[in-house]
């Protein structure tokens, strides 16, 4: 945790004084080992970054005076379309996407996505949010990504995707693609990443019909957890 992410209900009596309990307090106690007078990096969820000066700390509670005066880092200009991975992988990739600055994520269906993945409790709002918050705390960002679930491939690609990709460069990551990674992409990108078994030809055809270019990072077939940061790093 490189940033303590604050929420409006952490503030007491105005806009500066904050109390913390639970996971964030434990982190301050056991990892940062802060004492009264120490300054901690803080940020308001969907707001500014700043510092919090510890005024009181005990096993049960921390109080600090905050100054919030800096903009969070710029978002990555990438909308991510991710074929829903298995729940354990999903948690890791959401944290990675959030820490790398992706602000719009569509979890979509594909033939090789197991149906049971859509029933996972990890798709609940609170679970998704937990991973996104961990990513923001890791990166020192405050802006919460939006996650959208799209459990039907065809209507998503045919009806919604044409509007979504407007004004962006649409790329579908596919190890077998003949095109290498583009030298340069101008402006925002919509990036599709396939399931663990990869996109089937019907799906790459549909994405191409919609305007996507299939692009490969090379012959090495990477796991989704490795492909995601490798692909996103192209936009840093
Ligand atoms: N056997 C599958 C295939 O050949 O498509 C492997 C899928 S891979 C585990 C999961 C996803 O990661 C792929 O659908 C793709 O989006 C992305 N990926 C993995 N390696 C890649 C590479 N070398 N180039 C581009 N994308 C890659």
Q: Whose CA is nearest to atom 4 of ligand 1?
A: 198
Nearest to 60 by CA among 36, 24, 32: 24
For ligand 1, pick from 114, 216, 222, 229 the residue to mutate: most ligand atoms within 8 Å of CB. 222
What is the pTM assigned to this prediction?
A: 0.95
Span from the CA of 221 to the centroid of ligand 1 (angstroms): 5
The pLDDT, as a whole number, for residue 13 is 82
Ligand 1 environment, Cβ below 6 A: 173-176, 193-194, 196-199, 216-218, 220-224, 227
Residues 128 and 51: their CA atoms lie apart, in Å, by: 27
Span from the CA of 217 to the centroid of ligand 1 (angstroms): 9
Neighbours of 3 (CB within 10 A): 18
Q: Whose CA is nearest to atom 12 of ligand 1?
A: 224
Do the beta carbons of residue 32 and residue 3 sit within 8 Å?
A: no
Per-residue pLDDT tens listing for the chain (236 residues) = 899 999 999 999 878 999 999 999 999 999 999 999 999 999 999 999 999 999 999 999 999 999 999 999 999 999 999 999 999 999 999 999 999 999 999 999 999 999 999 999 999 999 999 999 999 999 999 999 999 999 999 999 999 999 999 999 999 999 999 989 888 888 999 999 999 999 999 999 999 999 999 999 999 999 999 999 999 999 98
Q: Where are the domains of the chain?
A: 4-70, 78-235
Q: Hey, what are 162's tokens?
A: 């044409």
Structurally, at CATH architecture level, domain 4-70 sits in Beta Barrel (2.40)
Helices (H) and strands (E) in the chain, counts: 7, 11
Span from the CA of 88 to the centroid of ligand 1 (angstroms): 18
Superfamily of domain 78-235: SPOUT methyltransferase, trefoil knot domain (3.40.1280.10)
Span from the CA of 226 to the centroid of ligand 1 (angstroms): 10
């Amino acid at each position: 945790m490189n940033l303590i992410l604050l929420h409006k209900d952490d503030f007491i009596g105005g806009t500066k004084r904050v109390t913390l309990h639970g996971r964030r307090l434990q982190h301050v106690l056991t990892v940062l080992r802060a004492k009264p007078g120490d300054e901690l990096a803080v940020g308001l969820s969907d707001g500014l970054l700043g510092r919090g000066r510890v005024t009181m700390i005990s096993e049960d509670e921390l109080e600090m005076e905050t100054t919030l005066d800096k903009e969070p880092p710029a978002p990555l200009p990438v909308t991510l379309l991710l074929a829903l991975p298995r729940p354990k992988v999903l948690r890791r990739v959401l944290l990675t996407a959030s820490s790398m600055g992706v602000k719009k994520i569509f979890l979509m269906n594909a033939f090789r996505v197991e149906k049971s993945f859509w029933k996972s409790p990890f798709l609940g709002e609170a679970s998704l949010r937990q991973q996104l918050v961990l990513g923001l705390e890791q990166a020192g960002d405050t802006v919460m990504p939006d996650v959208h679930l799209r459990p039907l491939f065809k209507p998503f690609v045919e009806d919604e995707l044409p509007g979504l990709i407007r004004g962006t460069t649409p790329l579908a990551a596919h190890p077998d693609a003949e095109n290498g990674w583009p030298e340069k992409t101008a402006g925002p990108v919509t990036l599709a990443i396939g399931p663990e078994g990869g996109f089937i030809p019907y799906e790459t055809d549909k994405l191409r019909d919609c305007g996507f270019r299939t692009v490969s990072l090379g012959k090495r077939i990477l796991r989704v957890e490795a492909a995601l940061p490798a692909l996103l790093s192209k936009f840093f």
